[in-house]
Structure 1
Amino acid sequence: MTRIVISGASGDLAGRVTQQLLAEDPRRELTLVTRTPAKIEVEGPNVSVRRGNFERPELFDEAYRGGDILLLVSGLNLGRRTTEHRSAIDAAKRAGIRHVVYTSVGGVQPGNPALSAIDHLETERDLRTSGLAYSILRNALYAEIVSAIWLAPAAREGVLEMATGYGSLAPVSKVDVARAATSILTSPDRHVDTVYEITGPELLSMTEIVRLGSEVFETPISYRPVSERERLAFFDSVGMPRTYDPDMPPNPEGHMWASDELVSADLAVARGYQALLSGHVEQITGQAPASLRSVLESVKGLRYDRIGSAS
C-alpha cells in the first residue's frame, strides 16, 4: 500500500486533505508531519505523526522515511521559504519519496509582482530538476479569503479599497483545493509531471466580486481602486507589519500576512496575472468547483481562522 506523507499537517489545508483521505479509506497509510504534533487529533490504525519543521530541516529525513508520495504544503516565510522547500525536496529524495504534490499559487511566471509568486516560481523550478515526479497545484486566491479578508470588513465600512485596479480573478474554495490534492495523492500515476491551475468556475472582475458581496452581506459595498502607496499607508495606519514574522500575532480578521505580501498580491491582480480560468478542478476530481456566491453564503460572518471547522 502507498504511504502518503502530509507536510504542515496541523494546518487547515493539510487537515482537510487528511480528513478526506481517511474518509475514503480509514485504513489509509498516512504520515502526518508537523512542528506541533500535540495539535494533531487524527486516529487511524496506519496513521503516524512525526515532528518536522522547515527551520530544522534535519528532521525531515526521519519524518519522510517510509513514504511514497509527499504533499508539500508551502511555508509562510517569504524570501526564505525557497531554501526551506529545497531542503524538504532534498530530504524527500533521500527518504525514498517518489512523487511530490506541491501547493503553489496561480499565475506563476516571470514578471509576476506578487512576492509569493516569486518564491513559488523558484520552488517549481527546483521540482522540475529534482528527478522526482511532481504535481503542481497553482491555487487561485481562496474564496474564503475574499469573504473574510476582503468583503466582511468592506461590508462594515461600505467600501472595498484595494490596489487590485480593474483586474479579474477566479477565486477557488479551499474545499475544492483539498479535493484536487486528495485525488492526485490517491491516483498519482495519472498526474506525473503535471501543472494545474486550480480555479473556481467563474472569472470575475473586482466590481462583480463587490456586487456579490453586497448581495450576500445584504449591505451596499462600493469598490474604489487605490494606489500601491495608499494601500501600504492604510496597513501602516492599522499597525500591520510590512514584513512577515512567524512570531507576529494574527490580524483581527484571522490571518498572519504582512502588508508587503498583500499589496504585491493586489498588484498581481491589477496587472492580469490572476486573470485565469481553468476546468482543472473538474478534470481532476470529476466534480465542478463551488461558485464564489456559494462559498460567501456558507462562511459569511466567520473569521478566516475559524472557517476550517465550518466549511
Structure 2
Amino acid sequence: MPSPAAILCVPAKWVQLYPSVWLKSECMILVTGASGYVGSKTLAALSRQGFPAAGMVRTTGKRVAGLSAETPLRIADYDDPRSLLRAFEGVSTLLLVSSDGDGRDLLGHHANAIEAAASRKKSSIVFTSIIDIDADSPFYFTPVYRDAERRLRESGLTWTILRCGLYSDLVLDTWIKPALSSGVLSLPTDTGAVAPISRQDVALAAAAVVASPMQHAGKTYELTGPRKLSFHEMTEAAGSAFGHRLEFAPCSPADYLQRAWAEMQDPWPHAFSTLCRSIEEGRYQRITNACEHLTGHPPTDFRKFVEDTAASENAGSN
C-alpha cells in the first residue's frame, strides 16, 4: 500500500469506504472546493463531457456526500501548504474556487494555493473572483480578492479570472427566504440594483474555461445575470413564486448592522453590511454577455430562478 504522503486521486465511494488509503494517480484538471456547490457542479459538468478531473476536499465523510461516487478526490487543506503540493501533483489545470469565512483566512488560503500551484508549475489556473473588485469598494472581501488577483498575475502561471456577480442563490437564501415569514425584506441598499447570476451558471462557465484553458489565457470575464433588478422587483418575484406577500423596505445601515449582530457570527455582520453599501453604490448592476459567450446559452433570469426553486421545494414537500 502506498504511504500517506502519496497523492490521493480515487473515486469518492472508495474514500468513504477506505479513508486511509492513498493511491497515486494523475488528473489533468483539479477543482478545489469540490464539496461546495460551484465546485461540485463544475466537476459534474466536466464528467458529463468526459474530461479527466478530480475534486479537492478537506475531509471525507459528509463532505463527499454531494459528489458522484465515481468522482476522483484529492484531500488537502488550504492551511497546510504541504498537502496542497501533494494534491497539485500531476495537475495541469487548477480551478481555484474561493472558500468563505474570515477575510484573513481567505487571504492566506488564496496565497497558499497560488504559491503551491506556481511551485508545481501548473500550466494554468482559473480563479473565481468577484465583480466588486475596485480599490475604492467598501465591501469587506474586496481587498482579499484584489490580493489574490495580484498574486495570480505575478505568479508566472497562465491564468484566467472569473469575476462573479452577486449569486441568485445568496440573494434568495440569505435575504429573501428568511423574510417570507414576516413579509418584509429590509436592507440598507436604498434603490441599488443587481444583475444576479446563479451558482449553476457560474459552474458551467467555469467548466467551459478549464476544459480549454489556453483559449482563455490572460483573460478576465465578468459573469452576471441577464437582467438588472431592484430589490423591490426581486422581492415581488420571489413572493409570487413562493405564494407569500413580500415587500422590500429600505433601512438604515445602523439598523441593519444592529440586527445582523444579533443574528450572525463574525465576519458576516460586517461583510453583509458592506456588501449592501456596495450594492447601493451600483457596483453589482453591470450586465455582461460573458456567461453566454462561455457556455453557449444565456444565464438564468432571477425570476425564472426563484420560480424553479419554489416549484422544486413544493414538489419535494408533497
TM over 0.5: yes
Shift of 1:43: 4.5
Which residue number corresponds to residue 109 of structure 1?
Answer: 134
Aligned counterpart in structure 2 of residue 266 of structure 1, from 257, 276, 292? 276
Q: Residue 269 of structure 1 aligns to a residue in which SS?
A: helix
Q: Residue 104 of structure 2 aligns to a residue in which SS?
A: coil
Asked if 1:57 is matched to 2:81, the reply is: yes
Distance in 2 between the 1:43 and 1:184 partners? Answer: 24
Share of identical aligned residues, percent?
A: 27
Which residue number corresponds to residue 68 of structure 2?
Answer: 42
**2:302 aligned partner, one-letter code:** L
Which residue number corresponds to residue 9 of structure 2?
Answer: none
Asked if 1:67 is matched to 2:91, the reply is: yes
Which residue number corresponds to residue 32 of structure 1?
Answer: 55
**Across the two proteins, how many residue pairs are aligned to each other?**
285
Q: Could you report, residue by residue, the CA deviation over 1:208-239 in whole angstroms, capped at 9, with x for unpaired residues?
A: 2122123222332221111221111112233x
Shift of 1:191: 0.6
Distance in 1 between the 2:177 and 2:213 partners? Answer: 38
Q: Residue 108 of structure 1 aligns to a residue in which SS?
A: coil
Which deviates further from its counterpart, 285-294 or 72-81? 72-81
Which deviates further from its counterpart, 109-118 or 284-293? 109-118
Shift of 1:162: 0.5
Q: Is the 8 A contact 1:107 1:276 kept in 2?
A: no
Distance in 2 between the 1:146 and 1:212 partners? Answer: 12
Shift of 1:192: 0.6
**1:275 aligned partner, one-letter code:** Q
Where do residues 223-302 of structure 1 align in structure 2 (5 Å cutoff)?
223-238=248-263, 240-241=264-265, 243-244=266-267, 258-300=268-310
**139 and 67 in structure 1: CA distance in 2 versus 1, 3 angstrom threshold:** same
Q: Is the 8 A contact 2:123 2:157 kept in 1?
A: yes
Shift of 1:302: 8.1
Shift of 1:80: 2.6
Q: Is the 8 A contact 1:35 1:53 kept in 2?
A: yes
**301 and 199 in structure 1: CA distance in 2 versus 1, 3 angstrom threshold:** same
Which residue number corresponds to residue 16 of structure 2?
Answer: none
Q: Residue 125 of structure 1 aligns to a residue in which SS?
A: helix
Q: Could you report, residue by residue, the CA deviation over 1:264-289 in whole angstroms, capped at 9, with x for unpaired residues?
A: 11111011111211000001111111
Q: Residue 225 of structure 1 aligns to a residue in which SS?
A: coil
**1:277 aligned partner, one-letter code:** I
Q: CA RMSD in A?
A: 2.0
Q: Residue 300 of structure 1 aligns to a residue in which SS?
A: helix
Q: Post-superposition, which runs of at least 4 consecutive aligned residues in structure 1 deviate over 6 A?
A: none
Distance in 2 between the 1:198 and 1:72 partners? Answer: 16
Asked if 1:203 is matched to 2:228, the reply is: yes
Relative contact order (alpha carbons < 8 A, sep ≥ 6): 1 or 2 greater? 1
Which deviates further from its counterpart, 179-188 or 223-232? 223-232
Aligned counterpart in structure 2 of residue 93 of structure 1, from 113, 118, 124? 118
Q: What TM-score, normalized by structure 2, do the two folds share?
A: 0.84
Q: Is the 8 A contact 1:105 1:140 kept in 2?
A: yes
Name structure 1 gaps, 5 residues minimum: 245-257, 304-308
Which residue number corresponds to residue 250 of structure 1?
Answer: none
Shift of 1:301: 8.3
**2:56 aligned partner, one-letter code:** V
Name structure 2 gaps, 5 residues minimum: 1-25
Over alpha carbons, which structure has the higher Rg?
2
